[in-house]
């Protein structure tokens, strides 16, 4: 029997799954690690934490599955996008990695836009300069930490640092490279013009493969550390969203996914590199060779719910520990006690700034309409509704481009929760379905490994063979009408606060 491993280097932890050739999950493991915020708007991690988590989870899935390591025929890699790992001439990490949700580079984004030109930037990369992207981080390093910048010899994305540790090879793939602002998305190659304009050495960027292509083999040292065979193939893999697109079967027209993790992503397949005219949607290469995708990204979706749990949910966390259940179950159960619209309480989920549809690092969270009548149930419901309204912002942009949408697939926290699935169906005004597998990017790159090593002829074939719909949630017509009004009101609030967000940022600085 052939087995495949998928590794997803996430923001909260690294998840590793082991599947068989038919896509059945045999074992999974997750190891969490810290996220550091040494200054306001900063977000960093230690790449060594990712590596230790990778080794530990590989060993765990091998032990838990009981399979023979020699039966593992391939490994796929996924990870949080845009993060910058800077290596020196000895391939050592120079400083902590700067992550996708770091907002320190607003001035560098402006610098890049002025240097390249807004329209030219779109032509070269298919995207505007955003604070989360990789190129602004490189420019920030040059501007603020020149001693570190002078040492740089390679810039790797998070999953590609793990690839280097596994195989000794410097490599990336087209979907993750698309989020660097240094990649020609249309032609699926590094943009030499962008690198020249920004004075970034081309040799800093690793070769870019298509996602199912084999990019290296497991080294002897790592084989000993993990228990896997020497020479196990490692395929290109994918940035977490493209990999999640594969894991959710978003590999053909008409299917859209709503993924609620730390961030929130609305993701749709595209045959061609289409663009939203104002650049509010990302246009990236897909993990399907020769295909593309568009997506809207909100920075603090499940992250907002986690903030509520950690800050205001101590009672539910303690109760969940005693009952040995997930505290989110207790929080959502309490939210159900409040009516749709939370009796006029609106939550803006901009706890880490925002990206889609407002590329604004200064945006902040707001509870609007709070009154003496509101209780904890209202606050929880408002948080969940506000997150879902934010997801609808991206959905509306996709609809405005007349992209065909026959089906919405929910995954992440919003797919696991019955209440949140219904909330999405009611706010989107569309049926929402779930599939038989909810391991997201890790499952997606395990399928890519199966394609790259010959078990399946194509990504589409792998998805068709392993993914099926298991549940459908239809919208409640009464709630659809209620939420239509509340969504329009929610959507108007950012414009009301936009200038105040900027004034507050100046005040705090």
Catalytic residues, by residue number, are 240
Helix (H, G, I), strand (E, B) or coil at 427: helix
Helix (H) or strand (E) holding 183, with range, is: strand 183-184
Q: How far apart are CA 307 and CA 168, in angstroms?
A: 38
Helix (H, G, I), strand (E, B) or coil at 60: helix
Q: Work out the burial of residue 311: count CB atoms within 10 Å of its CB; fewer than 13 is exposed, 13-18 middle, 19 or more buried.
A: exposed
Task: Render 114-130 in DSSP notation, one character per residue.
Answer: HHH-HHHHHHHHSS---
Measure Cα distances from 369 to 139, 344, 395, 428, 485 in Å.
41, 6, 25, 23, 15
Task: Render 216-261 in DSSP notation, one character per residue.
Answer: EE--HHHHHHH-PPTT-EEE--EEHHHHHHHHTT--STEEEEEEES
What's the start-to-end Cα distance of the chain, in Å?
Answer: 59
Spell out a b/e string for 88-120, using b for 16 or more CB atoms within 10 Å of the CB, else e: eeeeebbbbbbbbbbbbbbebbebbeeebeeee
Angle among Cα 359, 154, 44 to the nearest 5 degrees reads: 45
Measure Cα distances from 322 to 306, 307, 326 in Å.
19, 21, 10
How is residue 106 written in tokens?
Answer: 């607003």
Q: Are 79 and 262 in contact (CB under 8 A)?
A: no
CA-closest candidate to residue 343, choices 378, 309, 315, 318: 378
Strand partners, 3: 20, 72
């Amino acid at each position: 029997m052939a087995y495949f491993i998928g590794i997803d280097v996430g923001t909260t932890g690294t998840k590793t799954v082991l599947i068989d050739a038919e896509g059945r999950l045999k074992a999974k493991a997750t190891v969490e690690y810290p996220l550091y915020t040494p200054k306001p708007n900063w977000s960093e991690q230690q790449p060594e934490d990712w590596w230790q988590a990778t080794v530990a989870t590989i060993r765990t899935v091998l032990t838990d599955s009981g399979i023979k390591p020699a039966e593992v025929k391939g490994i796929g890699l996924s990870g949080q996008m845009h993060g910058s790992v800077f290596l020196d001439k000895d391939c050592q990490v120079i400083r902590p990695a700067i992550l996708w949700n770091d907002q320190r580079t607003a001035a560098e984004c402006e610098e890049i836009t002025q240097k390249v030109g807004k329209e030219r930037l779109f032509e070269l990369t298919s995207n505007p300069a955003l604070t989360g992207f990789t190129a602004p981080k490189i420019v920030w390093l040059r501007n603020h930490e020149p001693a570190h910048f002078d040492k740089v010899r390679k810039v790797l994305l998070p999953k590609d640092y793990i690839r280097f540790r596994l195989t000794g090879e410097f490599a990336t793939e087209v979907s993750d490279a698309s989020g660097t602002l240094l990649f020609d998305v249309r032609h699926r190659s590094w943009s030499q013009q962008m690198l020249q304009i920004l004075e970034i050495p081309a040799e800093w960027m690793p070769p870019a493969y298509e996602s199912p292509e084999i990019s290296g083999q497991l080294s002897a040292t790592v084989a000993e550390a993990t228990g896997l065979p020497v020479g196990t193939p490692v395929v290109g893999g994918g940035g977490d969203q493209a990999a999640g697109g594969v894991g959710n079967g978003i590999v053909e027209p008409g299917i859209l996914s709503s993924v609620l993790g730390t961030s929130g992503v609305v993701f749709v397949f595209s045959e061609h590199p289409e663009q939203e005219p104002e650049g509010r949607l990302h246009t990236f290469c897909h993990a399907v060779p020769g295909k593309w995708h568009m997506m809207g990204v909100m920075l603090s979706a499940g992250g907002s719910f986690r903030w509520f749990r950690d800050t205001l949910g101590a009672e539910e966390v303690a109760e969940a520990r005693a009952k040995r259940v997930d505290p989110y179950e207790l929080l959502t159960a309490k939210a159900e006690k409040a009516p749709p619209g939370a009796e006029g309480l609106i939550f803006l989920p901009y706890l880490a700034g925002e990206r889609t549809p407002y590329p604004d690092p200064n945006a902040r969270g707001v509870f609007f309409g709070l009154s003496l009548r509101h209780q904890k149930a209202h606050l929880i419901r408002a948080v969940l509704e506000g997150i879902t309204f934010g997801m609808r912002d991206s959905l509306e942009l996709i609809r405005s481009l007349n992209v065909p949408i026959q089906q919405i697939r929910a995954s992440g926290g919003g797919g696991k929760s019955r209440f949140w699935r219904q909330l999405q169906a009611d706010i989107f005004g569309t049926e929402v379905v779930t599939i038989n597998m909810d391991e997201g990017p890790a499952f997606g790159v395990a399928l890519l490994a199966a394609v790259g090593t010959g078990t399946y002829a194509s990504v589409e074939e792998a998805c068709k063979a392993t993914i099926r719909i298991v549940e459908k949630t239809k919208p409640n017509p009464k709630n659809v009408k209620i939420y239509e009004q509340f969504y329009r009101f929610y959507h108007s609030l950012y414009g009301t606060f936009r200038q105040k967000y900027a004034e507050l940022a100046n005040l705090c600085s």
